[in-house]
Every structure is written in structure tokens, then in C-alpha cells.
């Protein structure tokens, strides 16, 4: 039990018939999101992303929580269907309609266009805690002694 109570307002009456709301398995982290489309949507390889309505709004209202929209791993890996914004963040104070930014990551000419059908599960919603630390502005950071400092990409080596 998470202790989080989230109100969901259905905006598309087809959602219950598609099985929403549900998690794909007893231990799944992500709540399945359905494409609330009136007709199939074609996404061309490397074409512009499209916004797909998820058909509901939610009210988290707890600043210690947010929701994150992720692509479904199978669709992303096998089909190339990913999110146009990589991950969508739903803040605790956003209560408008959820939209899924869908994009076909396949290279032009290497794969056929992707078709998203009404009711298809295209993304997942994961609820997670949010930590809002106190921020202090400083002139310099104290030494930590591990030698990394401002070393960036690859600075700790390979393997």
C-alpha cells in the first residue's frame, strides 16, 4: 500500500471496455495507457511525433508524488514506438487530460510506418516519489577525495 490516493476522471467512455484502469500483471509498475483515438494513426519513420489522448485526467495533489509516462518496452524495442519527449512527467498539480507523445524512432526506409489503433496499449504510467531538496548556492564544492571532481562522460573508465 502506497498511502497515495489518486482520483481519476474518465474523459473517454471506451476506457472501461478496454480494461482501464489496470496494471498488466500483479507486480507491474506501470499502469497501461490506451490510445483514445477515433481512427488508426500512422506514424512514419522519423516523422513528427503525434499527441495521443490517454482518455483521462488525474489528481495526484500530493507534492511528494508525481507520475511518469514511459513507452511500453516491447513496442519500443520491437516496433520502434517510443515517446517523442522520452519521458513525460505529470506533476502533482496538473489535472488536465493526459496526452502521450508518440514517435516512430525507426530510420527512414528501414521499416514500415507504425499504425496505432484505437484502444491499443501504447504507454505506461508509473507513480513515483519526489524529493525536493533544499538548495544552497555556494562558490565552490568541498573536496571529497575520490579524484573525480568535475570529470564528465567516461571519466571513471570502462568495464
pLDDT, tens digit, 9 for 90 and up, residues 100-155: 999 999 887 766 789 999 999 999 999 999 999 999 999 998 887 766 666 666 66
pLDDT tens readout for residues 31-45: 999 999 999 999 999
Among 77-81, 91-95, 97-101, 123-127, the least confident range: 77-81
The confidence score (pLDDT) of residue 9 equals 98
The confidence score (pLDDT) of residue 1 equals 46
The confidence score (pLDDT) of residue 78 equals 84
pTM of the model: 0.85
Domains by residue range for the chain, with CATH? 23-129 (2.70.40.10)
136: number of CA atoms within 13 Å, CB side?
4
DSSP for 72-131, please give it.
-HHIIIII-EEETTSSEEE-TT--SEEEEEEEE-SPTTTSPPEEEPTT-EEEEEEEEE--
Amino acid at each position: 500500500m502506497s498511502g497515495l490516493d489518486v482520483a481519476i476522471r474518465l474523459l473517454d467512455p471506451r476506457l472501461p471496455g478496454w480494461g482501464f484502469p489496470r496494471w498488466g500483471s500483479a507486480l507491474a509498475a506501470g499502469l497501461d495507457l490506451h490510445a483514445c483515438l477515433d481512427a488508426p494513426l500512422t506514424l512514419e519513420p522519423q516523422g513528427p511525433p503525434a499527441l495521443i489522448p490517454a482518455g483521462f485526467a488525474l489528481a495526484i495533489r500530493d507534492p511528494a508524488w508525481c507520475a511518469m509516462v514511459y513507452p511500453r518496452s516491447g513496442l519500443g524495442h520491437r516496433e520502434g514506438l517510443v515517446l517523442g519527449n522520452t519521458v513525460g512527467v505529470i506533476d502533482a498539480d496538473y489535472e488536465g487530460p493526459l496526452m502521450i507523445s508518440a514517435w516512430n524512432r525507426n530510420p527512414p526506409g528501414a521499416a514500415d510506418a507504425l499504425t496505432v489503433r484505437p484502444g491499443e496499449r501504447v504507454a505506461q504510467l508509473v507513480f513515483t516519489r519526489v524529493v525536493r531538496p533544499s538548495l544552497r548556492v555556494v562558490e565552490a564544492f568541498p573536496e571529497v577525495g575520490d579524484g573525480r571532481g568535475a570529470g564528465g562522460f567516461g571519466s571513471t573508465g570502462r568495464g
